[in-house]
Structure 1
Amino acid sequence: MKRIFTVFFLLNILLVQASLAQTTNGSIKGKVKTSDGKAAAYVSVGLSQSGKGTATDEDGNYLLTDIKPGNYTLKVSFVGLTTQQQQITVSSRQQTVQDFALTESASQLNEVIITSGNSFNKPVSLGKADIKPLDLPQSMGVIPSKIIADQQAVRLGDVVKNVSGVSLTQSRGGVAETFSARGYSIGIAGSGGSIFKNGVISNTQGFPDASTLEAIEVLKGSSALLYGNVSGGVIINMVTKKPVFNWGGQISMMAGSYGQYKPTVDIHGPITKNLAFRVIGTHENADSYRDVVHTNRTYVAPSLLYKIGQKTDVLVQVDYLKSDLVPDAGVGIPNNRITVTEVPDAPRNRFLYPKWAYNNTKQTSGFLTINHRFNDSWKLTAIGSAQNTKVDGFGVGVPMTIAANGDWTRTLSAVKSGEKDYTGQLNLNGNFKTGGIRHQLLFGSDFTRIVSENNTFKYTTAAGVVGTAYDKINIYNPATFDVRNDVPSIADTALTTTPQNRMGIYVQDLISLTSKFKVLAGLRWSYQKAFQTTIFNKEKQQERRGTAADKSDDAFSPKVALIYQPIQTSSVYASYTNNFTINSGTDIYGDNLKPSIINQYELGLKNEFLNGRLSANVSVYRIQNSNFAQTALVDVNGNANTNSNIRELSGETTSDGLEVDFNATLSKNFYFIAGYGYNYMRYTNTTGLVGSQVEAERLINNPAHTANGSAFYTFDKGSMKGLRLGASAFYTGERTGGNNNVVGLNAGLNNTTAAQSSYNAQVPLKGFATVDLSAGYGFRRFALLVKVSNIFNELNYIVHDRYSINPIPPRMFAATLSYKF
């Protein structure tokens, strides 16, 4: 099959050469600047009579290709700006240059540039092929820096909740964010995650910082064609801020409830004519509405952009994160069966861990991106990255066996782990014609190496007692929490190293049969090898191999979509895509799990109205997973399983859903975003499995309904000039924590009442809505923005582990004072 890809690629290149030799069309390029000489980014550029259009890049440049010779009207416009137009003549095989100067200054432009969640002007970089959203047969969402700043977002989760159908969860101990979409969860580690930074896989341990984000991009459903072994529900790309060739920046200070303060500095500008820089730094210190919990974080992100002539640019980005926090496993669930609304005396601030518990993360990342344009039609992008994540934590295990009367025996638990992620990507994009058919071709390959390290420990008390037992408390009696507060000594006993390699080759072509009918087709070959683990015994200074042998998997992931655009502002699509998912971990017997095959079918309608000021999109989908993998409920001895690396295949699942999005920039003063998502993910075929899941039962931790809405208005006239008002609301529907029910126990396992109880332990959670109100005032270069979040002080919970839950934040206050220069 490798030969097939090679032949396919060579044939496409030959077709390109032939088409380039035959074409007689011309092109237009130019630069758009503001009245003060700065680049005007993301401004619309349209060509009358041809239907062609684009948007300027971050440096204000634009390019229109394959234009028939003739006379045209070239228009430059943006919502809230005065439209400019220029008569222009395009000649055969010639490139015409036309620059524009807007009447607005850069600061005025910044006030109106709000890229809507489904912008029809700017392609999603996560798509690799620069396909315009209207041509992309997939539901997506983009949340730009304007919304991030207006909502005073601090974490990635604060931003992602603006995307329809995506809900927030957390990892065990509440030390990182995870997400759920279309019935599938997204992990934090590179080995099992679907979160990317600037297009490459990223470990998000320690909470990514929202202050450095230019935008977040979300592709819903399967993206296996482009990224291989990723979630069947969604992938998230964090687009960080990059250098620009104009001096400027911002200094801000955020202060909030529970002693929170967060200064941020963002400075950018040119070093030479071809070299620009940007440095972003922030520090956060905060207590919490949860007793004892404290956060201390520092994040620094320098970057350089070097332009080698007109065709090549090199971007180097580095970031460093140091995040020290107190882990928090939540309120606890007595007897594993009692709903949180029935738990008496469960104050929002109750903290069940010892006061000395800690979780510290250090993470360093580096990215190198090279873009080269061969000509107006062909572009090559090369990306390389390396990320090193280290986590050091100590405390007690999650409260998974709390008795009905509130008694909980706490056992010691520690983590000392590391993950190294290395990624390389190469993408070739081309636009050409074969006869009268236009092609937008993507051909690429990627390689990822992930090396995970985990330690095991020996715990010793001051009295010399070795073991994991610590103490016994009663969660209803705070007086028992501090009976013991000594910190046992801890020693590493063994280091387990788990390497794996991934690679893929993919080709995709957006074929425009006519101006109304298009086809997107692609195929990916993926290969993944999980190497046998090595276990180094530090006490004996001996190394041995793990029980599971090397495991190799490969598969083809096709995608095909039909696109119909009856008018230029409307698109209807139907798509099929296949996702091949490698299941990490082992079963209870130590054997590797088989892969899961996921088929997705999606129908969608995308529209824009009011000259692009309003977009309204709707999609429906069905996702079928041949064999869903989840954490095993019990171990080989029939006892409750606490190891998330021990997993089981639970049979077929089906996820059906609907998503609706509205995004509007009605003027330079007013914008809103709104979305709704419905999902029904359930077990559909578990026949023949002993101890099988209950068919038609919803999977845990997947709300049926989610919704979001935000609106901001800025006054620019009269006595209220400079005043900004905003409101945001977010809804998460009913869902279930704990474990899904099973028909019976696995054959040969410990058939005890305790084991049976661990199987059928569900925690029903009611739906909840939170409302945030914002008000601000801007004067010249200064701005003050104030927010009250969860204004009605709603009490509900986020499931971060099947054994425990965490209360959402109460009513809180935050204010940010900023100065732009």
Structure 2
Amino acid sequence: ESTGRGGDGAEFYSMRGFAVQPTMVNGMASITNAGLDPANIETIEIVKGPSGTLFGGNVISYGGLINVVTKKPHNQSRGEINFTNGGFGLRRITADYNLPLSKQLAIRVNAANSSEDSFQDAGFSKSTYIAPSLLFKASDKLQFLINSEMRFAESANAPMIFLSRYSPLSFQTMDLFEKSYRKSFTANSLSISNPSFGFQGQMLYTLSKQWKSQTILSSSNTTSDGYYHYLWDSANGSDFTRFISKRDGKTRASGIQQNFNGDFLLGKLRNRLVIGLDYLEKTIDNSSSGWVAHGLVSLKNQKDDGKLTPQAVDQSLLNVFEGVSSVKTKISSVYASDVINLSKNLSAMLSLRLDHFEGQPNYYSTEKIKSQ
């Protein structure tokens, strides 16, 4: 589930024991602090295991990567509207409309509006999403593809629970947690907003029967604005301390990529080769409040002595502030990868990538890398 916090607020998944987030769209970095909307998703590609030679290491993890492939315009007039109504206040409407304006030009728009309550005593999520795209075929060899998406999301989520790392586990059974299953320990007024915007432009050119050129420009911008809190284990078998902060952060990523894709024979062996250059710049701005203890949650007594209103939380946060900061990373890369078909059932891949880093790798870094 998305936390909405700045820097890494998107959904977390586990692959090979490592945390993985969906940080790529159509093979390019696209950062969000909220959840994905499936309205514009054609397929989801997952690479399990090391993939740094193809995609670098700044927006993926050791576990692998998740790449979202978006829907694209085509040459048929087609439209679709869906409405979903479900339990716990679920309401969702989606629309998908494709319109060819000529043999060379087509547009497609996907949109969605969603709202949902929680099975617990508080919590909600709502969002509005629109994703227009355009395909222009300038000639038999040259075409342009433009994708964009905007999402406006707001949610109030149950706080995450962190068990103490510094003492033995103080809970012997799940009985205490089961008693609190329907309790969220939050309030709908303590919400967080996550507007996001993404843009991607591609130029595809056929050089010959064996070679194609792909040039991609991309940009994404996402914001976290609101309250985020978590419960910290007091290591006494009952109590958790609520820590809360008012987050105010923005994450921006922009990149340019040039690929040359070849599909040819060397002797009797089929080779599929990609040679490319890539530049990525990522910036995280932060002007959030600090963190403050705000209430004690007792599982044994089923009590929460924190006052869960924006006014009470703002009063607690009055004298704590993280300060204004900005973290920037610049990565220049060159890479090559070749998949060789040794037989019908056996292939081998050889890959090489060189990255040049500048800046701070992430929000928590204290040292700046001048050149690496």
| 1:236-265 CA-partner distances (Å, limit 9, x unpaired) | 111111111111110010111101100111
Query: Share of identical aligned residues, percent?
Result: 24
One-letter amino acid matched to 2:27: G
- Residue 196 of structure 1: how far off its partner (Å): 1.1
Q: Which residue of 2 aligns with 1:353?
A: 186
Q: Is the 8 A contact 1:409 1:472 kept in 2?
A: yes
Q: Which residue of 2 aligns with 1:423?
A: 255
- Residue 390 of structure 1: how far off its partner (Å): 0.6
- Residue 518 of structure 1: how far off its partner (Å): 4.7
User: Structure 2 vs 1, CA of residues 479 and 441 (structure 1 numbering), >3 Å: closer, same or farther?
Assistant: closer
Q: Is the 8 A contact 1:195 1:202 kept in 2?
A: yes
Q: Which residue of 2 aligns with 1:222?
A: 50
| 1:766-800 CA-partner distances (Å, limit 9, x unpaired) | xxxxxxxxxxxxxxxxxxxxxxxxxxxxxxxxxxx
**1:243 matched to 2:79:** no
Alpha-carbon distance in structure 1 between the residues aligned to 2:212 and 2:184: 54
Alpha-carbon distance in structure 1 between the residues aligned to 2:265 and 2:177: 70
Alpha-carbon distance in structure 2 between the residues aligned to 1:285 and 1:440: 45
Q: Is the 8 A contact 2:198 2:220 kept in 1?
A: yes
Alpha-carbon distance in structure 1 between the residues aligned to 2:282 and 2:175: 44
Q: Which residue of 2 aligns with 1:177?
A: 11
User: Structure 2 vs 1, CA of residues 551 and 314 (structure 1 numbering), >3 Å: closer, same or farther?
Assistant: same
| 1:744-776 CA-partner distances (Å, limit 9, x unpaired) | xxxxxxxxxxxxxxxxxxxxxxxxxxxxxxxxx
Q: Which residue of 1 aligns with 2:152?
A: 322
One-letter amino acid matched to 2:107: F
Q: Which residue of 1 aligns with 2:295?
A: 471
Alpha-carbon distance in structure 2 between the residues aligned to 1:204 and 1:275: 30
User: Structure 2 vs 1, CA of residues 398 and 516 (structure 1 numbering), >3 Å: closer, same or farther?
Assistant: closer
- Residue 425 of structure 1: how far off its partner (Å): 1.2
Q: Which residue of 1 aligns with 2:277?
A: 445
Alpha-carbon distance in structure 1 between the residues aligned to 2:79 and 2:369: 50
- Residue 435 of structure 1: how far off its partner (Å): 4.4
Instruction: Within 5 Å, give how 1:326-345 maps onto structure 2.
Output: 326-330=156-160, 336-339=169-172, 341-343=174-176
| 1:96-144 CA-partner distances (Å, limit 9, x unpaired) | xxxxxxxxxxxxxxxxxxxxxxxxxxxxxxxxxxxxxxxxxxxxxxxxx
Alpha-carbon distance in structure 2 between the residues aligned to 1:237 and 1:330: 26
**1:494 matched to 2:326:** no
- Residue 475 of structure 1: how far off its partner (Å): 3.7
Structure with more contact order per residue of length (Cα contacts < 8 Å, sep ≥ 6) = 2
Alpha-carbon distance in structure 1 between the residues aligned to 2:356 and 2:328: 14
User: Structure 2 vs 1, CA of residues 316 and 404 (structure 1 numbering), >3 Å: closer, same or farther?
Assistant: same
User: Structure 2 vs 1, CA of residues 399 and 268 (structure 1 numbering), >3 Å: closer, same or farther?
Assistant: same
User: Structure 2 vs 1, CA of residues 451 and 347 (structure 1 numbering), >3 Å: closer, same or farther?
Assistant: same
| 1:208-251 CA-partner distances (Å, limit 9, x unpaired) | 01122111111111111111113222211111111111111100
Alpha-carbon distance in structure 1 between the residues aligned to 2:180 and 2:360: 47
1:213 to 37, 41, 50: 41
One-letter amino acid matched to 1:452: I
Alpha-carbon distance in structure 1 between the residues aligned to 2:286 and 2:61: 24
**TM-score for both structures, normalised by structure 1:** 0.41
Q: Is the 8 A contact 1:354 1:482 kept in 2?
A: no
- Residue 339 of structure 1: how far off its partner (Å): 4.9
Match of 1:487, SS?
A: helix
| 1:487-538 CA-partner distances (Å, limit 9, x unpaired) | 343676621100001122111223346667654322111222224999xxxx
Q: Which residue of 2 aligns with 1:186?
A: 20
Q: Which residue of 2 aligns with 1:375?
A: 208
Q: Is the 8 A contact 2:249 2:288 kept in 1?
A: no
Alpha-carbon distance in structure 1 between the residues aligned to 2:122 and 2:93: 23
Instruction: Within 5 Å, give how 1:10-409 maps onto structure 2.
Output: 176-187=10-21, 195-229=23-57, 230-330=60-160, 336-339=169-172, 341-343=174-176, 346-395=179-228, 397-402=229-234, 404=236, 406-409=238-241
Alpha-carbon distance in structure 1 between the residues aligned to 2:256 and 2:173: 46
Q: Is the 8 A contact 1:330 1:351 kept in 2?
A: no
- Residue 355 of structure 1: how far off its partner (Å): 4.8
How many residues of Structure 1 are paired with residues of Structure 2 in the alignment? 359
User: Structure 2 vs 1, CA of residues 270 and 350 (structure 1 numbering), >3 Å: closer, same or farther?
Assistant: same
Match of 1:177, SS?
A: coil
User: Structure 2 vs 1, CA of residues 510 and 328 (structure 1 numbering), >3 Å: closer, same or farther?
Assistant: same
User: Structure 2 vs 1, CA of residues 421 and 331 (structure 1 numbering), >3 Å: closer, same or farther?
Assistant: closer
- Residue 266 of structure 1: how far off its partner (Å): 0.7
Q: Is the 8 A contact 2:357 2:369 kept in 1?
A: no
Alpha-carbon distance in structure 2 between the residues aligned to 1:337 and 1:204: 36
Q: Identify which range, 414-423 or 435-444, moves more after superposition.
A: 435-444
**1:548 matched to 2:372:** no
Alpha-carbon distance in structure 1 between the residues aligned to 2:268 and 2:225: 60
| 1:19-38 CA-partner distances (Å, limit 9, x unpaired) | xxxxxxxxxxxxxxxxxxxx
Q: Is the 8 A contact 1:456 1:495 kept in 2?
A: yes
- Residue 331 of structure 1: how far off its partner (Å): 6.4
Alpha-carbon distance in structure 1 between the residues aligned to 2:236 and 2:191: 28
Q: Is the 8 A contact 1:370 1:381 kept in 2?
A: yes
Alpha-carbon distance in structure 1 between the residues aligned to 2:53 and 2:86: 43
| 1:342-370 CA-partner distances (Å, limit 9, x unpaired) | 42652322112355311110100000011
Q: Which has the larger radius of gyration?
A: 1
User: Structure 2 vs 1, CA of residues 298 and 454 (structure 1 numbering), >3 Å: closer, same or farther?
Assistant: same
Q: Is the 8 A contact 1:212 1:241 kept in 2?
A: yes
Alpha-carbon distance in structure 2 between the residues aligned to 1:232 and 1:412: 30
Alpha-carbon distance in structure 2 between the residues aligned to 1:345 and 1:522: 50
Match of 2:281, SS?
A: strand
- Residue 420 of structure 1: how far off its partner (Å): 0.4
- Residue 385 of structure 1: how far off its partner (Å): 0.4
Match of 2:152, SS?
A: strand
2:335 to 506, 511, 534: 506
Alpha-carbon distance in structure 1 between the residues aligned to 2:242 and 2:20: 29
| 1:526-582 CA-partner distances (Å, limit 9, x unpaired) | 222224999xxxxxxxxxxx96243533xxxxxxxxxxxxxxxxxxxxxxxxxxxxx
Q: Which residue of 1 aligns with 2:264?
A: 432
- Residue 327 of structure 1: how far off its partner (Å): 2.6
Q: Is the 8 A contact 1:175 1:359 kept in 2?
A: no
Match of 1:292, SS?
A: coil
Unaligned runs of 5+ in 1: 1-168, 188-193, 459-466, 535-545, 554-821
Q: Is the 8 A contact 1:311 1:374 kept in 2?
A: yes
One-letter amino acid matched to 2:91: Y
Alpha-carbon distance in structure 1 between the residues aligned to 2:350 and 2:161: 49
One-letter amino acid matched to 1:528: F
- Residue 340 of structure 1: how far off its partner (Å): 5.4
Alpha-carbon distance in structure 1 between the residues aligned to 2:81 and 2:177: 46
**1:529 matched to 2:358:** yes
Q: Is the 8 A contact 1:352 1:481 kept in 2?
A: no
- Residue 429 of structure 1: how far off its partner (Å): 1.1
Alpha-carbon distance in structure 2 between the residues aligned to 1:484 and 1:183: 35
RMSD over equivalenced CA pairs, Å: 3.0
Alpha-carbon distance in structure 2 between the residues aligned to 1:436 and 1:246: 39
Q: Is the 8 A contact 2:54 2:351 kept in 1?
A: no
- Residue 283 of structure 1: how far off its partner (Å): 0.5
2:287 to 452, 455, 470: 455
**TM-score for both structures, normalised by structure 2:** 0.86
